[in-house]
């Protein structure tokens, strides 16, 4: 969920959980800010991404903290097979937007590589309506990115690999709250922007030690740097996150359908900031085990993870799943999973004026799910799930209007009931995917709906190829939500229609066209308060926009 076009803050709300309750991995390494929590998805350039995989539901028994709502795994570009495969892409469109990317990949049976670079620029849009005069401009965004992957196989039993990703640039944004003066309790106009840098570096050694034992050792280093500046004021607010990690994974084939995953991992987070924090580093170490069985009449999974955190001590999380095939094309899956989230540095160690509370407890969850997977026909696939997630000690924020100070606190209990389904179908050459999600996320103490969660969403994607030509459309419908915990400020629902087309002019040259928000729907996902009249308005999302691109992949 974005709040204002390219480069604006982007959040994940998987299955009704909040942004910090979903874990994001890039090439297997955790990413995100240790100060605010959550991944800086708004700064990821899609040209550096090969694919994205989403695991819905709690996965803390395998991945540890933050995986309450799910896990998003992002994989950077990989090799395209043996030989040398260069590519060049240029695209331009509305709001002065330009996308440029260049790369080469290839190798042989032993060594594979991929090297890619890109530059994205846009003049942006004016994200706010009524606000300071200083906000009445377009908010530009710039992203320079680089990625590199190298794999070498010594023999059938041993390989090593290296991955690197670096993205940095500048993002302008509006600040309708203005720059706040604590001494006078007044605010002033501002023209803020951020200089950002995201990078990750990882390496692995993968060895098949025997016919039944595969072992993998991974190490990684990640950085999430953010410097907030203002064209009308001097000074810089810096929030730089550093993360070192190591993991050892062992897959054992025990025979007769039984398998065992054994692992251990270590992580150390460090924060360097221009703002004083009571603590600036902490570590976490963990061990986990998961048994799996694949049989003719049923399959099972049972896992346990033990975490030891420098501040919060030990935490155990479990997961279990039973899969029963009703027949050749229908499976039923019953699962249970536990999760937890450790409070961020802002939650615990930041200034009291920001709401920091050193007495916060970690969030803990229990999830129950019943899933049906069915191959309804040769070209029709259906997956449907009913689930419930209970969260204890949910971290929330309350503002005291009389003291002008907010504070983080633990909600006793929150619960999320949900249903989701995905239907994939091919009809007369049209590839169609329909997704629907119905959720009821509530604070069980107050009975209020959790903020910024839409109860109903629907997504429809339709695509078809006509020889060298391809066309497609995406339609998204989102119901209303609330911007505040008390459910006093409503965010209206919306519907957005996108169109796309492509033409493969030759084996080496292709063109693509995108029309986003075809009906020029004005909508918002987040509200802001006008500093002068105290009224609430919505951040503007991307209006009707067009992008025309060309991709050249010469054969060498």
| pLDDT for the residue numbered 410 | 86
Q: What is the pLDDT of residues 172-222, one digit of tens each?
A: 998 888 777 766 667 788 899 999 999 999 999 999 999 999 999 999 999
| pLDDT for the residue numbered 395 | 85
CA distance between the termini of the chain? 41
> What is the C-alpha separation between 204 and 207, in angstroms, rounded?
10
Q: Which pair of tokens denotes residue 550?
A: 């060309």
Number of Cβ within a 10 Å radius of residue 472: 17
| pLDDT for the residue numbered 404 | 57
Phi, psi values for residue 453, rounded to 5° = -110, 115
Number of Cβ within a 10 Å radius of residue 285: 16
Per-residue tens of pLDDT for the chain, all 556 residues: 666 778 787 888 899 888 888 899 998 889 889 998 888 888 888 888 888 998 888 888 899 988 999 999 999 888 877 889 999 999 999 999 999 999 999 999 899 999 999 999 999 999 888 888 888 889 999 999 999 999 999 999 999 999 999 999 999 998 888 777 766 667 788 899 999 999 999 999 999 999 999 999 999 999 999 999 999 888 899 999 999 999 999 999 999 999 999 999 999 999 999 999 999 999 999 999 999 999 999 999 999 999 999 988 888 999 999 999 999 999 999 999 999 999 999 999 998 888 899 989 999 999 999 999 999 888 999 999 999 999 999 887 776 656 556 788 887 788 999 999 999 999 889 999 999 999 999 988 889 999 899 999 999 999 999 999 999 999 999 999 999 888 999 999 999 999 999 999 999 999 999 999 999 999 999 898 887 777 888 989 999 999 999 999 998 7
Q: What is the pLDDT of residues 128-145, one digit of tens each?
A: 888 888 888 899 999 999
Helix (H) or strand (E) holding 347: helix 345-348
Q: Which pair of tokens denotes residue 388?
A: 């419930």
The answer to whether the CB of 126 falls within 8 A of the CB of 137 is yes
Domain ranges of the chain: 14-552
Secondary structure (H, E, C), 259-311: EEEEEEEEEEEEEEECCCCCCCEEEEEEEEEEEEEECCCCEEEEEEEEEEECC
Instruction: Output DSSP code: residue 43.
Output: G
Q: Which residue has the tokens 């042989």?
A: 108
> What is the C-alpha separation between 442 and 256, in angstroms, rounded?
44
- Mean pLDDT for the chain overall: 91
| pLDDT for the residue numbered 116 | 95
CA 120 to chain centre: 20
CATH of domain 14-552: 2.40.170.20
The answer to whether the CB of 200 falls within 8 A of the CB of 31 is yes
pTM of the model: 0.89
Q: Which pair of tokens denotes residue 365?
A: 């969850």
- How many CA atoms lie within 13 Å of 307's alpha carbon, on the beta-carbon side? 24
Q: Is 70 left (phi over 0), alpha (psi -120 to 50) or beta?
A: left
Instruction: Output DSSP code: residue 2.
Output: B
In order, the DSSP letters of 50-80 are EEEEEEES--HHHH-TT-SSEEEEEEE----
Helix, strand, coil percent values for the chain (each to nearest 5): 5, 65, 30
| pLDDT for the residue numbered 409 | 85
The answer to whether the CB of 287 falls within 8 A of the CB of 263 is yes
User: How many H-runs (helices) and E-runs (strands) does the chain carry?
Assistant: 2, 32
| pLDDT for the residue numbered 470 | 97
CB neighbour list of residue 401: distance below 8 Å, 6 or more residues apart: none
Query: What are the residues facing 369 on neighbouring strands?
Result: 335, 387
């Amino acid at each position: 969920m974005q709040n204002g076009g390219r480069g604006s803050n982007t959040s994940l709300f998987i299955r009704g959980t909040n942004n910090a309750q979903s874990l994001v991995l890039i090439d297997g390494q955790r990413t995100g800010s240790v100060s605010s929590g959550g991944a800086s998805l708004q700064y990821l350039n899609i040209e550096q991404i090969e694919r994205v995989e989403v695991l819905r539901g709690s996965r803390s028994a395998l991945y540890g903290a933050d995986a309450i709502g799910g896990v998003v795994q992002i994989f950077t570009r990989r090799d395209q097979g043996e030989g040398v495969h260069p590519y060049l892409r240029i695209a331009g469109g509305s709001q002065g937007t330009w996308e440029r990317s260049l790369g080469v990949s290839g190798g042989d049976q032993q060594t594979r590589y991929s090297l890619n670079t890109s530059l994205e620029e846009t003049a942006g849009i004016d994200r706010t309506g009524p606000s300071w005069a200083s906000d009445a401009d377009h908010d530009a965004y710039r992203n320079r990115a680089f990625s590199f992957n190298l794999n070498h196989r010594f023999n059938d039993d041993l390989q090593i690999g290296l991955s690197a990703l670096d993205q940095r640039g500048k993002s302008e944004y509006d600040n309708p709250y203005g720059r706040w003066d604590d001494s006078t309790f007044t605010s002033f106009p501002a023209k803020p922007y951020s200089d950002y840098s995201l990078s990750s570096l990882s390496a692995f050694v993968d060895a098949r030690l025997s016919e039944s034992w595969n072992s993998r050792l991974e190490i990684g280093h990640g950085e999430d740097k953010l410097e907030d500046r203002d064209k009308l004021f001097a000074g810089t607010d810096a929030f730089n996150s550093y993360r070192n990690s190591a993991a050892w994974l062992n897959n054992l084939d025990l025979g007769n359908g039984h398998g065992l995953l054994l692992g251990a991992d270590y992580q150390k987070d460090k924060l360097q900031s221009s703002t004083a924090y009571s603590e600036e580093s902490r570590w976490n170490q963990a061990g986990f085990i998961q048994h799996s069985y694949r049989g003719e009449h049923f399959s099972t999974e049972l896992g346990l993870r033990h975490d030891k955190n420098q501040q919060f001590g030990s935490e155990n999380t479990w997961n279990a799943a039973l899969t029963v095939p009703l027949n050749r094309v229908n499976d039923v899956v019953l699962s249970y999973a536990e999760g937890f989230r450790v409070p961020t540095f802002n939650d615990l160690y930041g200034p009291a004026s920001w709401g920091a509370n050193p007495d916060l407890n970690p969030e803990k969850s229990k999830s129950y799910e019943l899933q049906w997977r069915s191959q309804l026909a040769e070209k029709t696939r259906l997956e449907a799930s009913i689930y419930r997630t209970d969260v204890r000690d949910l971290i929330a924020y309350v503002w005291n209007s009389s003291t002008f100070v907010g504070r983080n606190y633990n909600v006793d209990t929150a619960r999320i009931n949900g249903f989701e389904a995905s239907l994939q179908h091919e009809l007369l050459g049209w590839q169609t995917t329909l997704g629907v999600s119905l959720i009821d996320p509530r604070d069980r103490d107050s009975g209020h709906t959790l903020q910024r969660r839409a109860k109903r969403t629907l997504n429809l994607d339709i695509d078809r190829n006509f020889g060298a030509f391809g066309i497609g459309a995406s339609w998204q419908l989102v119901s209303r939500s609330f911007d505040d915990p008390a459910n006093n400020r409503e965010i209206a629902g919306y519907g957005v229609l996108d169109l796309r087309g492509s033409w493969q002019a030759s084996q080496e040259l292709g063109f693509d066209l995108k029309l986003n928000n075809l009906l020029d729907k004005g909508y918002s996902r987040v509200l802001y308060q006008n500093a002068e009249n105290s009224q609430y308005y919505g951040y503007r999302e991307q209006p009707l926009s067009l992008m025309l691109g060309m991709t050249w992949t010469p054969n060498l």
